[in-house]
Amino acid sequence: MRLKLSLMGIVSLAAVIFLLSWQVNIEILGYVLSKRSIKVLAILLSAWSIGSATLVFQTITGNRILSPSILGLDSIYILFQLLAVMLIGRFSPLATNPYVNYIVTTILMCLFSSLLYQRVFSKKKSIFSVVLIGVVMGTFFSSITGMLQMIMDPDAYTMALDRLFASFNDVEEDLLLLSSIIVSLVVVQFYRNHHLLDVIALGKNYAVNLGIEYDKEVKKLLVMIFLLISVSTALVGPITFLGFFAVNITKTYLKTHKHRILIWGTVFMATITLLISQILVEHVFGFGLPISILISIFGGTYFIALLLRESAA
């Protein structure tokens, strides 16, 4: 087990080095390296946050198929960006200062989604209803966003647009430090709670029977998930299926249910997937293909295969 885990670690390290050093021009080494390391850091951050968030999300829902990226958080994010520019004006610090923007939207997203799901949870709904509501909300928000886009001032729109379609090639570098702190704090928090996660994975009845305050704990975990997803969305935009892919491959490979190991496995696997996709996008497909599409195709094919295999059994 330890061996497999270290193997995953080594592969991800190798991929990092490859991305940093491939075809480096020695004369401008310093510049290139700093440029590239920003990119790699961003990749690591989103891999960590999406990977661990999905693992915990699947543990809570007791389902291998779902991932938090379908909760519609990205559309909430876009909506907030537009509203910020529209309502507060495009010369306010909220629109011009990336720090302020980042912090405010992240907090707002967390607050909003927690409130939303708090309400839903307080009515004792099944977890799938919660997820479905999330998905519908997502469509709802993106419809509103679309409407705003049509009726808002074109200049302001261009301004907002910059933030809407981010990729690893143009990350706000100022934000990386802050994001790193948040992500590592939450992931460590997950790790410290690995026993709790092991029990929650057995289902609500079992967990309650073992004296766990199930609803409270799940709510706490959900807030942390929202935080991670908000961070990665704000940083690089939505990447569907990355988490799903990483978690399932890890579980198949490591064949364990212990979260102590799964967390690191998933994080490594997400890193490897993302790095390799980035390498493919940069060096194999030469047509500016967004990385999220590539991962959706990979992960999505695996998703369908998994469904068919499980249903055939």
Partner 1 sequence: MNLAIKDINKRSLIKLTLILAAAILSLVSLSIGAEEIIWSEAFTEGTFSRTLLFKSRIPRTISLLISGFGMSIIGLIFQQISRNKFVSPTTAGSVSGAQLGIAISLVFFSKVSTLQMMLFGFVSSLAVTGIFMYILRRLKFKEVVYVPLLGLMLGSVISSITSFLAYKYNFLQVLYGWFYGSFSLAISGRYELLYLIIPTLFVSFFYAKAFTIAGLGENFSTNLGLNYRIVVNIGLVLISAVSGAIVIVVGNIPFLGLVVPNIVSLYGGDNLEKNISIVGLTGMIFILCCDLICRRIIYPYELPIALVVGVIGCGLFLMLIFRKEAGSYET
- Residues in the site for partner 1, rule: CB under 8 A? 63, 65-66, 70, 123-126, 128-129, 131-133, 135-137, 139-140, 142-144, 146-147, 150-151, 240-241, 285, 287-290, 292-294, 296-297, 300-301, 303-304, 307-308, 311-312
Q: Is the Cβ of residue 6 or residue 129 nearer to partner 1 in the bound state?
A: 129
Q: Pick between residue 186 and residue 249 the one whose CB is nearest to partner 1.
A: 249
Nearer to partner 1, 20 or 306 (CB): 306
Q: Which is nearer to partner 1, 179 or 278 (CB)?
A: 278
Q: Shortest distance, CB of residue 88 to partner 1, whole angstroms?
A: 22
- In the bound complex, what is the minimum distance in angstroms from residue 89's beta carbon to partner 1? 21
Report the nearest approach of partner 1 to the CB of residue 79 (Å): 12
Residue closer to partner 1 by CB (options 59, 179) is 59
When the beta carbons of 98 and 300 are compared against partner 1, the nearer one is 300
Smallest distance, partner 1 to C-beta of residue 288, A = 7
Report in angstroms how near the CB of residue 157 gets to partner 1 at its nearest.
Answer: 14
Measured distance CA(208)–CA(300) in Å, rounded: 35
Q: Name the residue nearer to partner 1 (CB basis): 184 or 301.
A: 301
Minimal distance, residue 192 CB to partner 1, in Å: 31
Q: Of 225, 298, 198, 251, which is closest to residue 52 (Cα–Cα)?
A: 225
Nearest approach, Cβ of 52 to partner 1 (angstroms)? 20
Nearer to partner 1, 210 or 307 (CB): 307
Q: How far is the CB of 304 from partner 1 (least distance, A)?
A: 6
> Token digits for 96?
């011009």
Spell out the SS3 assignment of the chain: CHHHHHHHHHHHHHHHHHHHHCCCCHHHHHHHHHHHHHHHHHHHHHHHHHHHHHHHHHHHHCCCCCCHHHHCHHHHHHHHHHHHHHHHCCCCHHHHCHHHHHHHHHHHHHHHHHHHHHHHHHCCCCHHHHHHHHHHHHHHHHHHHHHHHHHCCHHHHHHHHHHHCCCHHHCCHHHHHHHHHHHHHHHHHHHHCHHHHHHHCCCHHHHHHCCCCHHHHHHHHHHHHHHHHHHHHHHHCCCCCHHHHHHHHHHHHHCCCCHHHHHHHHHHHHHHHHHHHHHHHHHCCCCCCCHHHHHHHHHHHHHHHHHHHHHHC
Q: HSE (CB half, 13 Å, CA atoms) of 270?
A: 29
